């Protein structure tokens, strides 16, 4: 069994209106980390000041980062079929599920 230990940062609290600014995933097989993925993401929207203070991620930092559409194929392969683990699992999963769905993917993990 593989676990996808995941953390994301976003521009706000609503998956349908806010974007993802960072994704980090560690694949864990129960004994060791077998794969890692981390990237900033260009959300194509401004990051509110209070979110910049909370996360340390600024508009300038994500300006040249890949869009979610660009990282979706690799990230989908990484997450699909794994046990999804996150500190705030409902929040993180809702954002990823929404972003994948908006680009034609159906995430199941």
Residue 109 in this model has a pLDDT that exceeds 90:
no
Domain ranges of the chain: 3-102
Residue 104 in this model has a pLDDT that exceeds 90:
yes
pLDDT tens column, 51-101:
999 999 999 999 999 999 999 999 999 999 999 999 999 999 999 999 999
Distances (CA, A) of 107 to 12, 54, 59, 71, 104: 21, 28, 28, 14, 10
Can you give the pLDDT at residue 38? 99
Residue 4 token pair: 């996808």
The whole-model pTM stands at 0.94
Radius of gyration of the chain (CA): 13
Can you give the pLDDT at residue 108? 86
The Cα 79–Cα 84 span in angstroms is 7
More confident call, 108 vs 33:
33
Tell me the average pLDDT across 19-48.
98
Q: Whole-angstrom distance between the N-terminal and C-terminal Cα of the chain?
A: 12
Q: What's the CATH superfamily of 3-102?
A: Ribonuclease H-like superfamily/Ribonuclease H (3.30.420.10)
Can you give the pLDDT at residue 41? 99
């Amino acid at each position: 069994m593989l676990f996808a230990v995941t953390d994301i940062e976003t521009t706000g609290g609503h998956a349908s209106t806010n974007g993802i600014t960072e994704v980090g995933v560690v694949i864990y097989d129960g004994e060791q980390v077998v794969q890692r993925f981390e990237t900033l993401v260009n959300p194509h929207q401004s990051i509110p000041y209070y979110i910049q203070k909370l996360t340390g991620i600024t508009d300038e930092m994500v300006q040249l980062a890949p869009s979610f559409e660009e990282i979706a194929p690799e990230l989908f392969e990484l997450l699909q079929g794994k046990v999804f683990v996150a500190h705030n699992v409902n929040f993180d999963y809702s954002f990823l599920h929404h972003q994948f769905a908006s680009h034609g993917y159906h995430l199941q993990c």
